[in-house]
Amino acid sequence: MEEGPYKYIRDGAGKVCRVIRIGTRKSQLARIQTDSVADKLKELYPDIHLEIVGMSTTGDKILDTALSKIGEKSLFTKELENALERNEVDLVVHSLKDLPTTLPPGFTIGAVLKRESPHDAVVLHPKNVGKTLDTLPENSVIGTSSLRRAAQLKKRFPHLEFKDIRGNLNTRLKKLDEKEDFAAIILAAAGLRRMGWENRISQILEPEDCMYAVGQGALAVEVRARDADILEMVSILHDPDTVLRCIAERAFLKHLEGGCSVPVAVHTEVKDSQLYLTGAVYSLDGSESLKDTMQTIQIIEEVDERVQRVGVTANKMSGEVQDRAERLGVDLANLLLSKGAKEILTVARQLNDAR
């Protein structure tokens, strides 16, 4: 039965329970990620009824164009947010790196879950097994649709060539294995692990070879900002370290005005109560880059806060600590901007638009 915007059902004992509907992309990885969040909620709240609603997004439909060329920031999220707005679903699970740093009004990230490995991974064509990017033959072609990965790796491995490859994980692996077009492809380690394909990872790229994308490896639960009960329910899923790292990363990207169409990369860690953020911007071919590291002192304390920071609401965490994380991202962006980051990114954007 439907009452107002919510859906209710009667359980076996005749008790009326609210149904929580979770929206997800239809890809296998999106379903696995959504199921993992649903399982956690079910464990924490055994009485709730969950219903998973799958839908296709623009990003899933346009498979023949490089992501950075489509230029739409909310490629994989728009349809899901529309469903959220129309009360067709109550929460949506995303890869945090797909979520723009400014969310549409009325939405917020109610939970950022403990981060999987944020690093990129090299997956080799079966014939190259045992090799690394260093030892692949001259002019080997590496598939990646990410400007960030290509810019860093061109600089680091000048003997390799880089070409676009699109499609979900299954499609990309199929393209790699069944054709001779690519010697290897670069994918996020987190996705491969979640799919149970860890055995395909030939090499993990450490930050000195390739820093990762903002929010990479973290899952985010997006909700309607006015839904206090749902916000309360999902807030228990927040992982404090991941929240602070991702607030700093998102603030850095937002202040640089970066998106899918410019090469921006980060690396963060929380060590001895300090939050460290390394951020970098690159020209498309990686020949020009700016990179720096800053840190802030963190003291974790429990406080109820109802403020959004770069789209994230973490009610149970100290507001001051979150502010410092956001400030860190902004300060580092300002430092790089003062050294000429704007020019590098503007040229990268123009060149990418002209491709």
Q: Which residues are catalytic?
A: 98
Task: Give the DSSP letter string of 333-349.
Answer: HHHHHHTTHHHHHHHHH
Q: For the chain, give the longest Cα–Cα distance.
A: 69
DSSP state of 125: -
- At residue 238, the 3 state secondary structure works out as coil
Query: Residues 37, 93: contact at Cβ < 8 Å?
Result: yes
25: Cβ contacts below 8 Å, ≥ 6 apart? 31, 54, 55, 56, 57, 60, 76, 80
Cα(285)–Cα(287) distance, integer angstroms: 6
Which single residue is written with the structure tokens 């290509």?
Answer: 150
Query: Residues 123, 200: contact at Cβ < 8 Å?
Result: yes
Q: How do beta strands 16-25 and 91-95 pair?
A: parallel
Cβ–Cβ contacts within 10 Å for residue 8, how many? 13
Q: What are the structure tokens assigned to 248, written together?
A: 């700093």
